[in-house]
């Protein structure tokens, strides 16, 4: 689909003025500061298209396009037309499995606070224990390239700890602050550099014990984080096409040798392709490695709500991960504001055992494959208003099955 509604002109000449239309809550001054096209510049169709794609990536914008009107003296007026999303959004994730596990997360987020694309939100989670967190993210706080994010969380779950072919359950609490700087040098690239300080607390609940595995730990930690995001995805309402890569690298410093310092890095490769008029093929590949410490508290987890739909809540841990999610989404109903999609998916992955080697990825004890079916109920005028239901059924060794509910596409 062409972004331009009026293109009956030569690209020679300069821009006389840039105007914004259709915005209500989103500040005109913010949009003018964000787009690259400015009065006095030569007209450039590539830059116009990039501005439109950048606007469509904002949570507050459901669709955008440009128009150019030319005068006989070769001067051009550029109009950016914006269709806004409703941005005060509740969200919920609910997941169950055949092991009678039940957990949920609910929250509220405003994605266009002060009309400047600032995200302000919080969540409450119940997963045997209670957790909560708050977040503020302002990617264009200081300029159209520079912003920041601040997070606080008090997160508590019941976590299985795996050692000597047995398991024990611990009450795990993670409490702390995080601050990130955000730098977006151009249309497709973004860097985030952050630091967090937090406390991890493990309290033994039940299960097997070992003299080598402590039943209580309370450790102060620091974390340095680097995120690099390359985004070349085009958006047209619920349809996506293109490629995105997100690298997340972290260095964790610990004050206790029981939970030693470690490095962890993982990269998500995401690819979308339109299939006909109503289909969308979506793929995510995650490759991750961490310091290969032989510890029952390994950083990568196998979990319903993170990587494998239907597998259960934190059923295993590892120091390396290979996960592939692929699904075909088909639109059955597409009205002015409502979309009904179905999807067929396969989630699969494998993990490296703590202290193990790369051959662990081929061990059938570590491989999980879960095909499944799902539905998507989408509101086209509310950001991320995708209510999803997925049912995953394991076909590998000692597999389970389960339903995962949530807000937003799984990936």
Please spell the DSSP secondary structure of 142-203, one letter per residue.
SSSSEEEEEEEEEEEEEEEEEETTEEEEEEEEEEEEEEEEEE--SSSEEEEEEEEEEEEEEE
Domain-by-domain residue ranges, the chain?
Answer: 15-84, 88-407
Q: What is the per-residue pLDDT across 258-289, written as a single tens digit (0 to 9) for each?
A: 788 899 999 999 999 999 999 999 999 999 99
Length of the chain: 411
- For residues 141 and 4, the model is more confident at 141
pLDDT at 407: 82
Q: What is the per-residue pLDDT across 383-394, written as a single tens digit (0 to 9) for each?
A: 888 999 999 999
Rounded CA separation 273/376 (Å): 18
CB 103 within 8 A of CB 400: no
Helix (H) or strand (E) holding 380: none
Burial (Cβ within 10 Å: 0-12, 13-18, ≥19) of residue 150: middle
**pLDDT above 50: residue 4:** no
- In this prediction, residues 305-315 reach a mean pLDDT of 86
Scan for tokens 């957790």, then name that residue.
Answer: 131
What number does CATH give the domain 88-407?
A: 2.40.160.50
Domain 15-84 maps to which CATH number in 3.40.50.150, 3.10.20.310, 1.20.120.330, 3.40.50.2300? 3.10.20.310
């Amino acid at each position: 689909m062409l972004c331009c509604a009026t293109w009956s002109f030569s690209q020679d000449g300069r821009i006389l003025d840039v105007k914004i239309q259709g915005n209500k809550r989103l500040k005109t001054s913010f949009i003018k500061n964000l787009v690259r096209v400015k009065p006095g510049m030569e007209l450039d169709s590539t830059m116009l298209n990039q501005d439109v794609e950048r606007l469509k990536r904002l949570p507050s914008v459901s669709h955008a396009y440009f128009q150019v009107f030319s005068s006989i003296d070769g001067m051009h007026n550029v109009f950016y037309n914006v269709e806004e999303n409703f941005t005060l959004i509740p969200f919920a994730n609910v997941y169950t499995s055949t092991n009678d596990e039940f957990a949920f997360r609910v929250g509220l987020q405003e994605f266009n606070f002060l009309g400047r694309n600032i995200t302000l939100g919080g969540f409450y989670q119940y997963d045997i224990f209670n957790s909560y967190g708050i977040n503020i993210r302002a990617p264009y706080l200081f300029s159209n390239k520079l912003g920041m994010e601040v997070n606080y969380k008090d997160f508590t779950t019941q976590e299985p700890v795996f050692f000597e072919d047995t398991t024990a359950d611990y009450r795990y609490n993670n409490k702390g602050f995080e601050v990130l700087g955000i730098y977006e040098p151009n249309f497709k690239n973004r860097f985030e550099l952050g630091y967090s300080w937090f406390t991890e607390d493990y309290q033994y609940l039940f299960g097997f014990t070992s003299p080598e595995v402590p039943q209580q730990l309370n450790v102060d930690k620091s974390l340095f984080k680097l995120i690099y995001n390359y985004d070349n995805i085009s958006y047209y309402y619920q349809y996506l096409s293109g490629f995105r890569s997100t690298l997340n690298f972290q260095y964790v410093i610990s004050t206790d040798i029981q939970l030693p310092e470690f490095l962890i890095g993982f990269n998500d490769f995401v690819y979308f392709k339109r299939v006909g008029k109503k289909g969308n093929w979506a793929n995510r590949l995650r490759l991750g490695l961490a310091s290969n410490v032989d510890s029952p508290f390994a950083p990568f987890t196998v979990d319903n709500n993170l990587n494998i739909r239907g597998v259960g809540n934190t059923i295993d841990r590892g120091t390396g991960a290979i996960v592939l999610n692929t699904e075909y989404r088909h639109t059955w109903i597409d009205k002015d504001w409502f979309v009904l999609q179905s999807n067929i998916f396969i989630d699969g992955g494998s993990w490296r055992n703590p202290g193990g080697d790369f051959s662990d990825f081929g061990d059938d004890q570590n491989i999980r494959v879960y095909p499944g079916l799902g539905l998507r109920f989408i509101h086209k005028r509310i950001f991320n208003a995708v209510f999803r239901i997925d049912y995953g059924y394991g076909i590998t060794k000692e597999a389970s099955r389960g339903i995962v509910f949530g807000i937003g596409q799984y990936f």
